[in-house]
Structure 1
Amino acid sequence: MSINKKVKRTIMENSSQYIGSAVLIMISCIFFIMFNVLNINLEKSNSSFKKDYIQEDASFIVQKKIDNIAHLESKFNIIMEEGSTFDYDFSKDKTIRVFTQNNKVNLPAVIEGSQIKNDDEICLDPAFAKENKYKIGDNIKIYDKNFKIVGYMSLPNYIYPLKSETDMISNPKTFGIAVITKNSFKYFNKGYSFYSIKFRGSKDVNSELKNTLNESNKILRWTDNRENGRISYVDAKIDGIKKVSVAMPLAMLILTSILISVVMWRMVKKEFTVIGTLYALGYRKFEILKHYLLYPFTVSLVGSTVGTALGLLTVKPMIKYMVTFFNVPLASINYSPKYIILSFLLPLLFLTISSALVVNIGLRYSPLELMRGGRNKNKVNFIERNLKLNRSSFNTKFRIRELLRNIPRSVFLLLGIVFATMFLLYGFAAKSSIDYLMKDTFENVYMYEYDYMFNSLQKGSPNQGEAYSLAPFTKKDDEKLNIIIYGINENSKYISLKDKNGDKLSLEKTIVTKPLSEKLNLKEGDVIKIKGKFDAKEHTVKIDKIADTYIGDNIYMPINKFNTKFNLPQESYIGLWSDKKLDLPQEIVLKENTKSDSKKAFDSVIEPFKYVVSGMAFLAFLIGLIVIYVVTSLVIEENKQTISLFKVLGYKKKEIYSLILNSSTIFVLIGYVLGIPLLMISLDAMFKSVTKDINFSFPIIIDKMYLFVGFIIILLTYELSKRLSRRKIRKISMSESLKSRME
């Protein structure tokens, strides 16, 4: 078709608009491919790892050794295996947790090297080995015994290697896991035993199994895999990636569709006379529509091709980056042709359909109306008609009318700024929220440095440290919800709980944490019915106060009340808190946690997160620059004759720049302000969805400093866009106004 020859020329003449659209599509496709292919690979690897290496459904610790494992396996249709573990401190800041090699449940998966065969061999988790420069073939000394590192491995119950189940962040510099043979483990005569179970059939036998164990033994701790952060955090992260993989590319595609629609409508309006002439020459509506659809088709094809290619290049490094956090064996990368095809088709569909709708509006006019420049060419809209601008200055009236006479363009600018703001502040909000969550919790709530838990109840007043007790429960009508009730000293110096106003709560009350109150919609004075996790006994607990702390589905009550309510001996306790290291017999200590380990893990994660925030800030800057520059280019194109006339009338360059380029300032400001609450709402919904099955919630906070920095970045983007647009204004000659008069 001969009229298609002008497609290339038109794109080159208005290159900024089309290149900007192509770049937005490119960014959208990069995110679409990167997140979706990353998600399916992590999901598939995680799922096959759980299945092939028999991830536990639960683990537990009992007071006495179980001698009838085979009988329990047969009776309850389960797989059960005894495991053993101990912690070895290389230094104050570096600990390794050593496990026995299992052969029934939680089988070690070798990622590199070979499986252990001899008693002098050991396998390490790869992240710990990399951070501490341990290579395959090196020797490592644990206590007085030397081991040869023969491989790197992953355990299905330690996919995210947290030192404690209640931790949030792992730190491979300071903590790792290892596997040795059972014979080697016996040599050390240290640590404790635990049991892992895998249900062959229904999990309904869970309560019956606990009752059977409690008849001849006593369960000290029971952890279902959904309550184990080493497992559940991985699922939560994959779920989060899945949500982002749809929402972010979709938002950018919608933004690009609006941009192309605005550009196409402007082109169609400008060429009404040409279209009317084409109709008169015998061209059919479909042929003309097909011609105009070549513009979005070209833009989407270029943007999606480059974006998909770049997205595929990012997949491998992103998977490698994620695997450093989540210790999952990855056999091969599945690039999924489905997502590659969708990455091409979605931009094409979005842009073609939106452009077709817009072009079709212009093509509904008759040839005569088109040749006259369209119907109601100078119609004033409702808003402008009702504004009283008589007393306003010329500059003010010009800017207001410029905005109101092209509502779609103004809406596009507003949405673009909102999106750029949300994208920019997302990184800042995530950093502020994590910073508040960790620092406020560890500095303002938990005042202890050391946390010791014993393997059996202790009685009497401790000589050192501060005693506490805890017991796990479930909600009576929802066994999936795990609730930890703490018994603490009424005058505790290691726990400080505050309400939403920041006022300190009395520890004589029964206090519930914010995550649990939100999940159960609890208010002060409410009563909840709970059931013991180990013995299935039912209890009721009245809530006196709600603490504004975000970690743990916890309830706190005085320790004397705790012991009385749950029929435990008075002056009994299960753990100690202390601000200094205690000298305790190792045979009675079940686990030891330090607050400094959690802080170091937090700091190690925050450091690389700074680069993520910087990257998001750059992308937000790029998106904002494209949107503002394209809109400014459209304003200049539409006002060529006006700008030329201003020059003829003697307006100075600065005055013209101010009139034409500053008309969008109000939408930039409104867009930034609107972006903040919209971001908070979207983050709140996303975090609630992601954390619904784990025992903490995210505070959605943006530091005021970051709001100021974000505003400065958006403002600088706007100013840079105006600077770039000045060149276009300078190129417009005075003769443009004369040409329009002659036409």
Structure 2
Amino acid sequence: MVIKKIPMRIMKREILQFFSIIMLVTLATMTYTLFAVSMEDIDINYKIFKKDFVQEDGYFITSQKIDEKLLKEKFGVELEERLFYEIQQDGVTLRVFSISNKINKPYVEAGKMPRQGEVLLDPGFFKTRQYHTYDEIVISGKKFRVSGVGYLPDYIYIIKNDQDLLPDPKHFGVVLMLKSDMQKLFPVVPVHYYSYKGKVNNIENFKSFINSNWRLLKFVERNQNPRIIYTEMKLENAKRMTFPLSLFIILVSSFILFIVMRRVINTMHAEIGTLYSIGYTQKDVFKVFMRFPLYIWFFGSVAGVLIGFFEASSFAQFYRSYFTLPKIKTVLPWQHIFIAMVLPAIFIFLSGYLAIKNFFKLTIVQMLHGIDEIKFGKLPAIKFFDRFEFQTRIMLKYGWRHIGREVILIVGIIFSTILMMYGMTAKDSIITAIERTYEKNFKYNYLYSLNSVSTHPEIKLQSAAEPYNLLSFDIEGTKLSIMIYGIKRNSDMIKLYDEKGKEISVSSELIITKSLASKLGIGEGDKIKLKNKFTGKEYTLKVKKVSNLPVGNNGYMELESFNKLFGYGSGEYIGIFSKEKLDIPENMVFESYTKSELINTIKASAGDLSKTIGVMALIAAILALLIVYVLSTITLNENKKNIGILKMLGYREGNIFKMILGFNYVSFVIGFILGVPLSKLTMDSLISRATKDIDFAMSLDLSVNSILSTFAVLTVVFLLSRLLARQKIAKVMPVEILRGQLD
């Protein structure tokens, strides 16, 4: 049939308008394919990795060597001791482990398993420090040869300390060597490190038994290990965001297609009526006009799937290297490609069908005579508009007449604002939170964690150093833990402030961080029930104050009150805050780090965050550009006759543009204003959901910088789309409008 050529002819005539709709579909399918395929690839490889290389169910550190046989018989778990030593050299911290044979076995890439005098390096450190296979590395004064790159199932997210937010491969690396080499290099180790595998029926008894017999220094279950669960958390968050993001773009493109289909059919009312008159059936006409959604879906979804699929490999590799995950198996998740193709088809064909069906409710006579615009209902007139001068009145009436489109524009700007604001704020908030916390609240420069709790008479504390005590507790009714510090009453190292900036005095009562209070939904005067992680003993403590600390699940008490409450002797402590570097024997130190390490880690990792932010900002900008441009061109195309008449009356193009599309500026501002608080709610929800079961918390606060940056970018995009749409007015000639009226 000749009428089959109608859709393609119209699409060629309005190529930019239909191309924009196709781009929306492409963006939606590309987003879904990119994230779904890459996350599936990472997820499957992660599951293979943790199973085949025996990821631990937990680890613990003791000050004394345990009786492995006794522990296995009593609790039915598999145990493996892992030699562990940490050294600092040339501004770099190296965490050295012996190679395990049963639990946390290394996966070797780009090389081979080390022999005598050889080591494996973690991939981040290997790449950042520009090592090559068979290069030499000096560890504690002795030369070793780098035999390859090693991945560990329990060090997927390679952070130095549990409280770190991001890896810093420039200053921290994991080294694996033979047990015999470690014993020669480090004849005396200060602590004993054990990994365990197997389900423990009563974990509290397990910890209590270890503590009472071999003095437990640290106990971390798998689901509380940030080096493991941060990976799973990030994967889950990426999956959770993929579907809503893609679905939103598809719904917006489907709604716009619905409007376009109504406009196309309405402008062809005479042709369709004529087709009926000469014998074509409704079915024939219906089939022809359903080619519009078919072409849009086909070109958009195929392009999106192809771009998303081919980019998924590099995106997965970027994500994988960020989490230190090896690629063990090539994955082709065809089910996600199928979903990416089918999902937009459902909404696009449905919108096209509804638009066409609505027109077919008219009689042939109505079709031949035509109607200005098909509507499902009639909007009431608003007399308030008549108070304004002519141009403003026309602008308001056009906005009210096309209120559905204005709502879509508002929703699109809201969504773009949330997407862009999340990216901008994530970077700013992390850096700001760390700088504020570790510079305003934490005044120390060095932190030392010792391998035992005592008065430590052998250590002579200087004036620039302060002792602290520390215990970890489970919070009853939640999966959360809290680290409670016992610090000096008038500490110069830890400064706590309330919301108004007034300093909080440390006393015998508990002070908790703002982030923890928010997560628990409690405030001053409330009580929390705690259980000691090592002994299982329970406590109920009253929250005296909430400190304005944005990160960490921490609590603070006065040191002597802490010791008395939790059964320690007067003057006993387990760690030292210091403004100067202390000379403490290595066999007494369990962990140590400097405050500058953490701050430098965050700032050095800002570049990696910027890549993710760039992608999110680009998607938000493209989405806003396409939505504004398509909606603008639809309105202008529908009003060519009115534009021609206004030109004949002497109105300039700028004034005409203001009258017909001026209300878009109002919608843009409304969308952005609503988007800012919704961004805060969305980010708080995402962060709360992501950190609800881990011993870390932070809030993303909207900064003036992030708000202004988002507004500036979206404004540029909005004005660019307006500039492109405005060219439509210049092409409308009054002569053609008059000729059309005569025809």
Structure-1-length-normalised TM-score = 0.95
Supply the distance in 2 between the matched residues of 1:246 and 1:367 (Cα, whole angstroms). Answer: 43
How many aligned positions are there?
Answer: 737
Do structure 1's residue 515 and structure 2's residue 515 form an aligned pair? Answer: yes
**C-alpha distance in structure 2 between counterparts of 1:260 and 1:714, whole Å:** 23
Moved more, 359-368 or 372-381: 372-381
Please tell me whether residue 289 in structure 1 is matched to residue 289 in structure 2: no
Q: 96, 99, 111: which one pairs with 2:97?
A: 99
Partners of 2:61 and 2:194 within 8 A in 1: no
Query: Cα gap change, 1:378/1:193 in structure 2, threshold over 3 Å: closer, same or farther?
Result: closer
- The offset of 1:24, in angstroms, is 1.3
SS at match of 2:688: helix
Give the whole-Å Cα distance in 2 for the aligned partners of 1:190 and 1:604: 34
Correspondence 1:675-714 to 2 at 5 A: 675-714=675-714
Q: Which residue of 1 aligns with 2:61?
A: 61
Check whether the contact 2:84–2:193 (CA below 8 A) recurs between aligned residues.
no
Matched, 1:237 2:234: yes
Letter in 1 for 2:404: P
271-280 or 481-490, which moves further after superposition? Answer: 271-280
Whether 2:151 is the aligned partner of 1:142: answer no
Q: CA deviation at 1:740?
A: 4.5
Verify: 1:720 aligned to 2:726, yes or no.
Answer: no
Aligned partner of 1:115 in structure 2 is 113
Aligned partner of 1:407 in structure 2 is 403
| CA distance 1:556–1:286, change in 2 (3 Å) | farther
Partners of 1:84 and 1:192 within 8 A in 2 = no
Range 280-289 or range 659-668, more displaced: 280-289
Please tell me the residue identity of whatever aligns with 2:491: S
Describe how 1:650-669 pairs up with structure 2 within 5 A.
650-669=650-669
Change (3 A) 1:475 1:664: closer
Q: Which residue of 1 aligns with 2:447?
A: 451
Q: Which position in structure 2 is the counterpart of 1:425?
A: 421
* Aligned counterparts of 2:296 and 2:243: Cα–Cα separation in 1: 21
Alignment of 1:295-694 (within 5 A): 295-374=292-371, 381-383=378-380, 385-459=381-455, 463-464=461-462, 465-478=465-478, 480-508=479-507, 509-694=509-694
> Is the Cα–Cα contact under 8 Å of residues 489 and 559 in structure 1 kept in the other structure?
yes
Distance 2:714 2:165 in 1: 33
Aligned mates of 2:713, 2:319 — CA distance in 1:
29
Aligned CA RMSD, in angstroms, stands at 2.1
CA distance in 1: counterparts of 2:156 and 2:270, whole angstroms: 66
Q: Please report how far the alpha carbon of residue 190 of structure 1 lies from its aligned counterpart in structure 2 after TM superposition.
A: 4.3
Report the secondary structure of 1:417's partner residue. helix
Contact 1:273 1:370 in 2 (8 A): yes
Change (3 A) 1:212 1:719: closer
Matches of 1:615 and 1:212, distance apart in 2: 50
Tell me what 1:226 maps to.
Answer: 223
Q: CA deviation at 1:412?
A: 2.4
Q: Residue 519 of structure 1: CA displacement?
A: 3.2
SS at structure 1 position matched to 2:201: helix
Q: Is the 8 A contact 2:262 2:374 kept in 1?
A: no
Q: Is this contact kept in 2: 1:260–1:355, CA < 8 A?
A: yes
CA deviations over 1:494-538 (Å, ceiling 9, x no partner): 112222333322222421123332333222112222111111111
Q: Classify 1:522/1:417 alpha carbon distance in 2 versus 1 (closer, same or farther; 3 Å).
A: closer
Give the 3-state SS of the residue equivalent to 2:384 in structure 1: coil
Matching residue's letter, 1:107: K
SS at 1:222 equivalent: strand
Q: Is the 8 A contact 2:551 2:699 kept in 1?
A: no
- Counterpart check, 1:79 vs 2:78: yes
Deviation of 1:409 after TM superposition, in Å, equals 2.3
- Runs (4+) of structure 1 moved beyond 6 Å? 375-380
Cα drift, residue 374 of structure 1: 4.6
Residues 1:239 and 1:615: Cα distance change in structure 2 (over 3 Å): closer
Whole-angstrom distance in 1 between the partners of 2:164 and 2:654: 59
Extract unaligned runs of 5+ from structure 2. none
3-state DSSP of counterpart to 1:390 = helix
1:742 aligns with 2:726: no
CA apart distance, 1:9: 0.6
Q: Determine if contact 2:455/2:572 at 8 Å carries over to the other structure.
A: yes
Q: Deviations over 1:239-286 (max 9, x none)?
A: 111112112111111111111111112122222333333333443333
Q: 2:262 aligns with which of 265, 285, 298?
A: 265
**More divergent stretch after superposition (650-659 vs 29-38):** 650-659
Inter-partner Cα distance in structure 1 for 2:240 and 2:289: 35
| Distance across 1 between alignment mates of 2:44 and 2:81 | 28
Determine the structure 2 residue equivalent to 1:36: 36
Distance 1:77 1:470 in 2: 30
Conservation of the 8 A alpha-carbon contact between 2:200 and 2:206: no
Report Cα offsets for 1:391-445 as digits up to 9, x if no partner. 3211011111111222222222222222222232221122222222222222222
Decide whether the 8 Å contact of 1:460 with 1:571 is kept in 2.
Answer: no
Name the CA distance, whole Å, in 2 between partners of 1:421 and 1:719.
16
- Contact kept, 8 Å, 1:124 with 1:151, in 2: the verdict is yes
User: Which amino acid in the other structure matches residue 548 of structure 2?
Assistant: D
2-side partners of 1:191 and 1:282: how far apart? 94
Residue 551 of structure 1 deviates from its aligned partner by: 2.2
CA distance in 1 between counterparts of 2:416 and 2:309 reads: 24
Which stretch has the larger CA shift, 718-727 or 528-537?
A: 718-727
Contact 2:269-2:367 at 8 Å conserved across structures? yes
Matches of 2:89 and 2:51 in 1, distance apart? 34
Task: State whether structure 2 residue 176 is matched by structure 1 residue 179.
Answer: yes
How many angstroms does 1:451 deviate by? 0.6
Instruction: Describe the SS at the equivalent of 1:544.
Output: strand
**Structure 1 residues 270 and 556 mapped into 2: Cα distance closer, same or farther (>3 Å)?**
same
How many angstroms apart in 1 are the aligned matches of 2:602 and 2:272? 63
Residues 187-196 or 72-81, more deviating: 187-196
**Distance (whole Å) between structure 1 residues aligned to residue 436 and residue 352 of structure 2:** 51
Deviations 1:158-216 (A, max 9, x none): 1111111221111001100011111111112244343434343x332322222332343
In the alignment, is the contact (CA less than 8 A) between 2:266 and 2:372 conserved in 1? no
Q: In structure 1, what residue type is equivalent to 2:227? A: R
Could you tell me whether the CA contact under 8 Å between 1:551 and 1:695 is conserved in 2?
A: no
Cα deviation digits, residues 337-375 of structure 1 (max 9, x gap): 111111111111111112212222222223233333259
3-state SS in 2 of match to 1:203: coil
Relative to structure 1, is the Cα distance of residues 648 and 214 closer, same or farther in structure 2, using a 3 angstrom cutoff? closer
- Distance in 2 (CA, whole Å) between partners of 1:698 and 1:460 is 35
Change (3 A) 1:9 1:477: closer
Per mean C-alpha deviation after superposition, the further-off stretch among 430-439 and 648-657 is 648-657
| 1:491 maps to amino acid | N
Change (3 A) 1:206 1:322: same
CA shift, 1:661, in A, is: 4.2
- Cα distance in 2 for partners of 1:241, 1:389 equals 46
User: What are the Cα deviations for residues 538-567 of structure 1, in whole angstroms up to 9, with x where unaligned?
Assistant: 112111111222322222111111101011
